[in-house]
A and B are shown apart, each in its own frame.
Chain A
Amino acid sequence: MNRFRPRGVWGFILRRLLLGILVLILVSVLVFLATQALPGDPARAILGRNANPASLAALRHQLHLDRPVADQYLTWVTGLLHGNLGTSLEAQEPVSTLLAPKLVNSAVLVVLAAVLSIPLSIAIGAWAALKREKVFDQSSSNLMLLLAALPEFVVALVLVILFATTVFHVLPAISTVPPGSRPWNNWVALVLPTITLVIAVAPYVSRIMRASMIEVLESDYVEMARLKGLPERTVLIRHALPNALGPVFQVIALNLAYLAGGIIIVEFVFNYSGIGGATAEAVVNHDLPVIQALAMLLAAVYVVVNLLADVATILVTPKLRTRL
Chain B
Amino acid sequence: MSQVSDVAIPDAEVALSPVRGASLLRRSLRLWRTRIGVALVGVIVLLAIIGPYVAPYGPSTPVGAPNADPGGKAVLGTDYLGQDVLSRVLYGGGSILVMAVIATALGLIGGAAIGLVAAYSRNALDDVLMRGMDVIMALPSILLALVAVAIVGPRAWVIVAAIALTTAPRVARVARGAAQPVVERDFIAASEAMGVPRWRILSGELLPNTLGPLMVEASLRLTYSIGLIAGLAYLGLSPNVNGANWGTMIKQNQLVLVVQPWGAVAPIIAIALLTMGTGLIGDGIARTAAGIDRARGEE
Q: With an 8 A cutoff between CB atoms, is B139 at the interface?
A: yes
22 CB < 8 A contacts A-B: A26-B135, A27-B135, A34-B151, A142-B33, A145-B279, A146-B276, A150-B275, A152-B227, A153-B234, A157-B250, A157-B264, A158-B268, A161-B265, A165-B257, A166-B257, A260-B140, A262-B140, A264-B143, A265-B142, A279-B143, A283-B146, A294-B143
**B residues in contact (CB < 8 Å) with A:** 33, 131-132, 134-135, 137-143, 146-152, 223, 226-228, 230-231, 234-235, 250, 254, 257-258, 261, 264-265, 268, 271-272, 275-276, 278-280, 283
Minimum-distance CB pairs A-B, first 3: A261-B140, A149-B279, A151-B227
Interface string of A115-133 (1 = CB under 8 A from B): 0000000000000000000
Q: Check A149–B223 contact: CB distance below 8 A.
A: yes
Asked if A322 CB lies within 8 Å of chain B CBs, one says no
User: Chain B contacts of A151 at CB under 8 A?
Assistant: 226-228, 230-231, 271, 275
Closest chain-A Cβ to B34's Cβ sits at a distance in Å of: 12
Residue of A whose beta carbon sits closest to that of B261: A166
Return A150 CB to nearest CB of chain B, in Å. Answer: 6
Whether A279 pairs with B138 at a CB distance below 8 angstroms is no
Main secondary structure of the interface of A (DSSP, over half): helix
Contacts A153-B231, A160-B257; is A27 near B139 (CB within 8 Å)? yes
A-chain residues with CB within 8 Å of residue B272 when the two chains form the complex = 150, 154, 158
Please determine whether A38 and B150 come into contact, CB atoms closer than 8 angstroms: yes
Interface positions of A from 129 to 151, Cβ below 8 Å from B: 142, 145-146, 148-151
B131 touches A261 (CB 8 A): no
B132 CB to nearest chain A CB (Å): 8
Query: A142 to chain B: which residues have CB within 8 Å?
Result: 33
CB contacts (< 8 Å) of B137 on chain A: these are 302
B135 and A30 within 8 A (CB): yes
In whole Å, how far is B108's beta carbon from the nearest beta carbon of chain A? 18
8 Å CB contact of A149 from B138, B147, B275 = B275
Known pairs A23-B138, A165-B261; A154 contacts B271 (CB<8 A): yes
Q: Are B134 and A161 in contact (CB under 8 A)?
A: no
**A152 CA to B140 CA in the complex, in Å?**
14
A268 within 8 A of B: yes
Is there a chain B Cβ closer than 8 Å to A178's Cβ? no
| A251: Cβ under 8 A from any B Cβ | no
State how many angstroms separate the Cβ of A106 from the closest Cβ of chain B. Answer: 13
Across the interface, do B135 and A279 meet the contact criterion of CB distance under 8 Å? no
Docked Cα-Cα span, A295 to B148, in Å, equals: 12
CB distance from A172 to the nearest CB of B (A): 13
CB nearest neighbor in B for A282: B150
Known: A22-B131, A145-B283, A148-B279. A261 touches B151 (CB 8 A): no
A298 to B138, CA, bound (A): 8
A35-B149 Cα distance, complex, nearest whole Å: 11
On chain A, the residues within 8 Å of B141 by CB distance are 261
Query: Which one of B150, B226, B271, B276 lies within 8 Å of A286 (CB-CB)?
Result: B150
Q: Is A244 an interface residue (CB 8 A)?
A: no
Q: In the complex, what distance in Å separates the CA atom of A148 from the CA atom of B275?
A: 9
Expressed in whole angstroms, the minimum distance between the Cβ of A289 and any Cβ of chain B is 13
Residues of B contacting A279 in the complex (Cβ-Cβ under 8 angstroms): 143, 146
Kindly state the separation between the CA atoms of A257 and B140 in the bound complex, as whole angstroms. 8
In the assembled complex, the CB of A133 is this many whole angstroms from the nearest CB of chain B, namely: 13
Contacts of B230 in A (CB 8 A): 151, 153-154
Q: Which residues of B contact A264 (CB under 8 A)?
A: 140, 142-143, 146
Q: Does A114 contact B (CB under 8 A)?
A: no
- In the complex the two chains form, what is the Cα distance from A279 to B147 in whole Å? 9
Residues on B with C-beta less than 8 A from A166 are 257-258, 261, 265
Residue of A nearest to B224 (CB): A151
The answer to whether the Cβ of A280 comes within 8 Å of any Cβ in the partner chain is yes
Task: Determine the distance from Cα of A7 to Cα of B110 in the docked complex, in whole angstroms.
Answer: 40
Q: Could you tell me if A283 and B147 are in contact, using CB atoms closer than 8 angstroms? A: yes
Within 8 A of B (CB), among A1-47: 19, 22-24, 26-27, 30-31, 34-35, 37-39
CA distance A302 to B169 in the complex (A): 15
Whether A23 touches B226, Cβ cut-off 8 Å, given contacts A145-B280, A265-B142, A295-B143, is no
B258 CB to nearest chain A CB (Å): 5
Write the nearest CB–CB distance from B45 to chain A, whole angstroms. Answer: 16
Specify which of B33, B132, B143 is in contact with A298 (CB 8 Å cutoff): B143
Known: A145-B33, A145-B279. 14 other contacts (CB 8 A): A23-B135, A23-B138, A27-B139, A38-B150, A149-B279, A150-B275, A151-B271, A154-B227, A158-B272, A161-B264, A165-B261, A261-B142, A268-B234, A298-B140
